Chains A and B, each alone.
Chain A
Amino acid sequence: MKTRDPKPAEPERDVREGPTIRVMATQTLDESEQIEPAAAGEHGSLDFAADEVVFDLQSLSCFYGSFRAVRDISLRVPKNQVTAIIGPSGCGKSTLLRSFNRMNDLVDSARIEGRILYHGVDLYADGVDPVEVRRRIGMVFQKPNPFPKSIYDNVAFGPRVAGYKGNMDELVERSLKRAAIWDEVHDKLREPGTALSGGQQQRLCIARAIAVEPDVILMDEPCSALDPIATLKIEELMRELKQNYTIVIVTHNMQQAARASDFTAFLTMGEDRAGYLVEMAPTQDLFTRPAHRLTEDYITGRFG
């Protein structure tokens, strides 16, 4: 990935204002215009070096029609770390996560205000190809959802669609190994993915996400349908995967956030039912001495 130009960028433009400098659809994300990050002070005490920041959210609000689901969130997601998003039901955690790879585009009434910079590029700028965004930023869902195909084809599907020219067997093996499921499936690659156990299916879905060589893996409650042992395996896997990927996970399970993440962002809901960020901190700090009373009340179970 191209590093951000250290020189001051061109005067900032609001991409929604008009097509003065259109980013052409033929350009890849790498070639798109780089935008200066916001001042560090806007993100509380977490001040990551610019090249360590994968996502830079600047006053992000998400709407479904006239309903504001997420209000004015500014935070940064650091590279090669596991960042957990926690908060009560309905506080906009999943909406926020889905805005990271433009999954909300698939909902007609959804729109955002503010900006999400991905390695300095405005993800929602005109001309940025959402399909390319979703290849770079993969997603694993709450319920394991393997395709009704063989284990092999589940993993090979994405690379095939993307026109992968290399050795497919090697790519499938590497992806399954990285997802820590190779040992369990290497002798039954032609069997249907749906025949695996829930925990295995979820790791297969992670292998499928990895196969297209993404940069980020978003996980939306990836363990809520799994038993405790399968859950711990996924958590261990996250620790492994962060060597190569940046991981953002939404979870209802606070102990999971405490166990598996490096940073935790706590969201809650305002009077208007819009979710907002209360604090983001190193996980260890947030769970031993949270800075805000709202966080304290939520994580100690004394919320409302």
Chain B
Amino acid sequence: MERAIDAPGSDTGTQGPAGPPGPRATFDRALDRVKDDVLRLGARVEQALERAGRALVQRDPDLADKVRWEDAEVNELQRQINTEITALIATQGPVARDVRELLALYHAAAELERMGDYAVNIAKLAQQLASEPETPILKQIPRMEQICREQLRDAMRALVDISESDARGVAQRDDEIDHLYNSVYEDAIQLMTVAPERARQATHMLFAAHHLERLGDRVTNIGEDVVFLATGQVEDLNP
């Protein structure tokens, strides 16, 4: 797919100043390609999340539909990354940081694919809410969606820079999301109590918040992947 566009010439672009290729030049180029693919996957998921959130707030079933359709591309890109990484492990005998990097990218891709599914779930809720009588969306939900996207962007940057401190920063923001989720929970119960006819809408919003909360946990998992990549230690950043 997009591989065909950036393949010619890109092999030399990432190697810095010209000089004789190092003994691992082929592997390094392949690793850079996988990294690019994971970044592209992250960008797609971020876009899906933004659209799902907008579809929810703006009661836009068509935009939600777009999110649902385009998830197939997210899944396909993840499969492609898995294939590339499996081949590199099988043929290149990576060790030390190389094998940690491939495993971290493999796992990050799996988490991103799952986040794409959460975005689809939110898009479905947006469609259902759009078919119900209008109820103001609880204000915490767009805020959660925004934090999730910021977290995701930061996590992808930490992955590229292999920055342990940035990865830890990503995990810290998870508390903020958890707090907002609890607040949505209380407000949804309140809404059901004072306006029982809106119980369906309240439940949909509660579910949307729940998906965002889960999504935040997945971003934290990518932060853990970065810590593993940087240090070789497996650590629970969200105990």
Binding site for B on A (CB under 8 A): 254-255, 258, 287-290, 295-296, 299-303
16 new A-B contacts, CB < 8 A, other than A290-B96, A299-B96, A300-B97, are A258-B95, A288-B95, A288-B96, A288-B232, A289-B96, A289-B233, A295-B96, A296-B96, A299-B95, A300-B24, A300-B94, A300-B96, A301-B23, A302-B22, A302-B23, A302-B24
CA distance A290 to B232 in the complex (A): 9
Q: Which residues of B contact A302 (CB under 8 A)?
A: 22-24
Q: Tell whether, in the assembled complex, residue A289 and residue B231 are in contact, meaning their CB atoms are under 8 Å apart.
A: yes
Q: Does B93 contact A (CB under 8 A)?
A: yes
Binding site for A on B (CB under 8 A): 22-24, 27, 93-100, 231-233
Answer whether A288 and B24 are a contact pair too, CB < 8 Å, given A255-B93, A300-B94.
no
Q: Shortest beta-carbon distance, B226 to chain A, in Å?
A: 15
Q: Shortest beta-carbon distance, B107 to chain A, in Å?
A: 15
A-B pairs with lowest CB-CB distance, top 3: A289-B232, A301-B24, A287-B95
Q: Tell whether, in the assembled complex, residue B27 and residue A296 are in contact, meaning their CB atoms are under 8 Å apart.
A: no
Q: List 26 A-B contacts (CB under 8 A).
A: A254-B95, A255-B93, A258-B95, A287-B95, A287-B96, A288-B95, A288-B96, A288-B99, A288-B100, A288-B232, A289-B96, A289-B231, A289-B233, A290-B96, A296-B96, A296-B97, A299-B95, A299-B96, A300-B24, A300-B94, A300-B95, A300-B98, A301-B23, A301-B27, A302-B22, A302-B24
Q: Shortest beta-carbon distance, A244 to chain B, in Å?
A: 30
CB closest residue in chain A, given B28: A302
Q: Shortest beta-carbon distance, B61 to chain A, in Å?
A: 49
CA distance A21 to B106 in the complex (A): 64
CB closest residue in chain B, given A289: B232
Q: Which residues of A contact B231 (CB under 8 A)?
A: 289
Q: Shortest beta-carbon distance, A95 to chain B, in Å?
A: 25
CA distance A295 to B232 in the complex (A): 15
CB closest residue in chain B, given A287: B95
CB closest residue in chain B, given A302: B24
Q: Which residues of B contact A288 (CB under 8 A)?
A: 95-96, 99-100, 232
Q: Which residues of B contact A300 (CB under 8 A)?
A: 24, 94-98
Q: Which residues of B contact A299 (CB under 8 A)?
A: 95-96
